[in-house]
Structure 1
C-alpha cells in the first residue's frame, strides 16, 4: 500500500536557498517512494512520489521566489543562482509532486491552481522551519507584524514605542509585504494590520477602527483644491487600482457611473508614482495621506465613499506567545479612533 511521504529532518546542508526568502542553504529531505512521475495535472492533496531525488528546502525556496516574482530571471537574481539552475529546480519539484505548478505557456509566468495552493503551504512550511532553527539560537523571539500599506497610520509610532516599553525582551518587527494579507496567510508574519474585508481561510480578525476614504490627486489637478469630492467627480478619470494589496475596485462606484479606464499597479509606491506622474487618480484611506505625504500629491476627502475597517489578524492555531499582548495593545492604541467617520 502506498504511503504518503513525510517531510522530516534528514539533514541540513549548504546547497541552494537565498537570503531573500529565509535562512541560507537548509534542506529537508522527503521519503522516497517510487520513480519520478511525469508532470501532469492532478488535484491536491497529493503524494510526494519521487525516487532518485528528494524534496529539499531549496526546492521550496526556489518555487516561492518564482511565485513571488513570476519571473525566472528575477527569481534567479534573488536566489543568487543561474536561470538554468532555477528552471531545473522547478522541474524537479514538479516531477516529485506530480503536478504542474507554473504555467509557462505564455510570455508571462503564472501559477496554476495547484501552484497557488502549494505556494501557501510551502511558505508556511519554510517559515516554520526557519522559526524552529532560529528559536534555538535567539532568546528574544521577534514578533513579526505585517502590513500591506500605511501600518497603523498615525498610531504607528505609538504602537511601536509602547510595545518596546512594555515588552523589551520581544522585538516587534513591522514588515511591509505587498500581499492582501501582508504575508500572514503564507506564514511570513505572525500577525498583520489589514484594511478591508479579509477572506483568506484560516485567519482570525478583530476590528480595531475605521478610516475614511480620500481621493488621491496630482497636486496641480483642478480638483485638488476642493475641500471635498464625491465618487462621481472621479468617474471620468483613469483610476489607479492596486490589485495586489489594495482595497479599491470599480465596485465602489454605482454600475451606471463607473470609471471607464483603469491602470493596474502592485504596491503603494507605484500607486503614488502613477498619480504624481499625472497618469491617474486614486482612492485610498486617510492613513495613506498620513503616512505618505508628497509635495506633488493632494488628498481630498470623499463624502459618499464608505469607511474602511482596519483589523488585526492572526492565524487560527498555535502561534507566537505574545500575540494576545499585541492584540490588546493594538486595541488600546488604535481603538480611540473607533467612532470616527
Structure 2
C-alpha cells in the first residue's frame, strides 16, 4: 500500500483541529476512521507522525516534515481538480437523484467538499420515487442507488456499504432491545416499498419470513405506517440519519448483510466528472453503524 491523499488529509486535519475527534467532525467521518488512516500512514512511512498528549495530538519531528510536504501535495491535487472545472467538464449544477435516502450523514459533507473543489459547480440532491431515482425520467445526471440497475443501459460504481437497521414503533417489544436479528421479524407485518426500497423476500432465511408485507409508496408513507404501530420495517443506515420521525426508533440488524451503495449514470453518456464524484464519495464512506435512536 502506498501513501494516499486521504492519509495526508487525515494527518493535516488532526494537526489543524487539534484532536482526532474534531478532525473526524471536519472530515465528516468517524474518529476510528481517522485513527486508521493516520496509523496506515505511519506504517507506510515506518515512523510516528503524531504524538498524543493530554491536550490533544501534536506532530513529531518527522510528522512536521511530512505535514509540510502534505500541504503542497494537497494544493497540487486541488489545482488539478480545478483545471477540470475550468475546462468546462463540470456543469454549474450536478443533479444527484435518490429514491429513499441520499447519502445519510455524508450528504451535506459531500456537497460542501464538491463546491470547495469546483467553486463554479453545485451538487444538488433531488428525491425521485422511481426505480432509477430519476435517471430514466431525466431528473438527474447521476443517482444514488441501493438496488441493481439495468446493466445494459446504466453503469454503476460502488462507493461504500451501509448497515441494515430495523425501524420500529417506539412501543414495540423489539424497541427495548439494543439489537435485533432477522428471525425477530418472523410473524410480523413488514412495510416495504417494492419500487424503491431494499427490503425483498430473499432477505430472510427459510422459515423466518414475516407473516405479511404492506406495500408503501415512499419513505414518508413508510414511516407513518410504522409510527402508527401498523408494521415494522428494515432500511439502511442512511435512513436513520436522514429520516428521523417521532414514534419511530432504529435498531441494528446484526446478522443482515451490509447493503452496497452505488452511484449510477447512463452507460452511453458517462459524465466526464463521474469518476471524480465517485472518488470523493468513496473517501467519505467509512463503515457506518446504525445509531440507537431513542
Instruction: Quickly name the TM-score band, shorter chain normalised.
Output: 0.5 to 0.7
Indicate how the Cα distance of structure 1 residues 319 and 209 shifts in structure 2: closer, same or farther if over 3 A, else same.
Answer: closer
Deviation at 1:323, TM superposition (A): 2.5
Deviation at 1:199, TM superposition (A): 3.6
Could you tell me how far apart the structure 2 residues matched to 1:208 and 1:157 are? 16
The partner residue of 1:269 within 197, 204, 220 is 220
Deviation at 1:140, TM superposition (A): 5.4
Indicate how the Cα distance of structure 1 residues 209 and 140 shifts in structure 2: closer, same or farther if over 3 A, else same.
Answer: closer
Partner of 1:310: 261
Q: Which runs of 5+ in 2 are unaligned?
A: 1-89
Question: Is 2:180 aligned against 1:229?
Answer: yes
Partner of 1:326: 277
Alignment check: 8 A CA contact 2:111 2:122 kept: no
Q: Which runs of 5+ in 1 are unaligned?
A: 1-138
Deviation at 1:174, TM superposition (A): 0.6
Question: Is 2:195 aligned against 1:244?
Answer: yes
Partner of 2:134: 183
Could you tell me how far apart the structure 2 residues matched to 1:150 and 1:156 are? 9
- 1:53-202 aligned within 5 A: 141-199=92-150, 201-202=152-153
Could you tell me how far apart the structure 1 residues matched to 2:218 and 2:198 are? 12
**2:207 aligned counterpart, secondary structure:** helix
Alignment check: 8 A CA contact 1:239 1:282 kept: yes
**1:325 aligned counterpart, secondary structure:** helix
Alignment check: 8 A CA contact 1:208 1:338 kept: no
User: How many residues were matched structurally?
Assistant: 201
Deviation at 1:339, TM superposition (A): 11
Partner of 2:207: 256
Alignment check: 8 A CA contact 2:163 2:257 kept: yes
Alignment check: 8 A CA contact 2:189 2:214 kept: yes
CA deviations 1:14-72 (Å, max 9, x no partner) are xxxxxxxxxxxxxxxxxxxxxxxxxxxxxxxxxxxxxxxxxxxxxxxxxxxxxxxxxxx
Could you tell me how far apart the structure 2 residues matched to 1:293 and 1:160 are? 21
**1:217 aligned counterpart, secondary structure:** strand
The partner residue of 1:212 within 135, 154, 163 is 163
CA deviations 1:69-119 (Å, max 9, x no partner) are xxxxxxxxxxxxxxxxxxxxxxxxxxxxxxxxxxxxxxxxxxxxxxxxxxx
Give the number of the structure with larger relative contact order, counting CA–CA contacts within 8 Å between residues 6 or more apart: 2
Alignment check: 8 A CA contact 2:163 2:237 kept: yes
User: Larger radius of gyration, structure 1 or 2?
Assistant: 1
TM-score by length of structure 2 reads 0.64
Larger deviation, residues 273-282 vs 163-172: 163-172
What RMSD, in angstroms, separates the aligned Cα atoms of the two structures?
2.1
Could you tell me how far apart the structure 1 residues matched to 2:288 and 2:228 are? 35
